[in-house]
């Protein structure tokens, strides 16, 4: 009978040890899930920044003008590690740039211009305001403030702009805007 009690005590100890290990595993899984969520969120933020930088740095050749420039040596594609300088469009080659006297171009600055309007015309316009929740207002405001062409708008003008914005839904493959066309609308993609 003593051996049964001894085996029962051993089983209880094993059960307690297993329960403790299960609890530790469960806590580790929760921590790893939280880390994964944080990293996916960071990846999403960095992907957005990368898209933003690529849209600025990868301008079509119609924006280039003859001038003095620098031509980099052709780089071999890298697998695995990506240098942080390459991500932000600064190259990452350890080789020095080559000056090319025959084919040299320099990118012109990109800007947005507006049609001049007289003050009476602006003041006589009635703005149509569209109601939206505070979370949507915050989303729009953050998107506008992240845009380097629009982040200098005064707070009152920004609030007016947000008041007048309205929601439009598009389906995949819809053509929203074409580069180079005249545009009179501001889009915030969310």
Q: Single out the residue in 58, 73, 89 at which a domain terminates.
A: 58
Instruction: Please name which of 128, 139, 73, 130 lies closest in space to residue 100, comparing C-alpha atoms.
Output: 73
In a domain, 45, yes or no: yes
List of residues 6+ apart from 121 with CB closer than 8 A = none
Residue range of the domain that includes 49: 1-58
Q: Single out the residue in 48, 79, 107 at which a domain terminates.
A: 107
Return d(Cα 6, Cα 11) in angstroms, integer: 9
Return d(Cα 125, Cα 102) in angstroms, integer: 53
Q: What tokens appear for 94 in the block? A: 């350890």
Whole-number pLDDT of residue 58: 64
Same domain, 49 and 100: no
Same domain, 83 and 128: no
Whole-number pLDDT of residue 189: 77
Overall pTM > 0.85 = no
The sign of the torsion formed by the CA atoms of 74, 76, 77, 80 equals: negative
Instruction: Please name which of 169, 171, 173, 152 lies closest in space to residue 161, comparing C-alpha atoms.
Output: 152
**pLDDT tens per residue across all 190 residues of the chain:** 667 777 788 888 899 999 999 999 999 999 999 999 999 999 988 988 888 777 767 655 444 444 444 434 444 444 444 444 444 444 444 444 444 444 444 455 555 555 566 777 767 778 889 999 999 999 999 988 888 878 888 888 899 889 989 888 888 888 888 888 887 788 887 6
Q: Are 177 and 187 in contact (CB under 8 A)?
A: yes
Q: What tokens appear for 86 in the block? A: 């390459």
């Amino acid at each position: 009978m003593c051996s049964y009690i001894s085996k029962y005590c051993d089983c209880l100890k094993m059960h307690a040890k297993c329960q403790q290990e299960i609890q530790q595993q469960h806590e580790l899984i929760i921590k790893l899930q939280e880390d994964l969520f944080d990293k996916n969120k960071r990846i999403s933020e960095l992907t957005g920044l990368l898209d933003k930088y690529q849209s600025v740095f990868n301008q079509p050749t119609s924006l280039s003008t003859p001038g003095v420039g620098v031509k980099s040596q052709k780089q071999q594609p890298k697998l695995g590690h990506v240098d942080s300088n390459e991500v932000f469009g600064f190259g990452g080659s350890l080789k020095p740039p080559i000056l090319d006297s025959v084919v040299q171009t320099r990118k012109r600055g990109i800007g947005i211009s507006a049609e001049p309007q007289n003050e009476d015309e602006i003041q006589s316009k009635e703005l149509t305001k569209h109601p939206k929740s505070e979370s949507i207002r915050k989303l729009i405001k953050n998107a506008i403030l992240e845009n380097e062409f629009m982040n200098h708008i005064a707070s009152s003008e920004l609030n007016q702009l947000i008041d007048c914005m309205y929601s439009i839904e598009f389906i995949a493959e819809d053509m929203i805007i074409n580069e180079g066309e005249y545009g009179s609308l501001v889009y915030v993609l969310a």
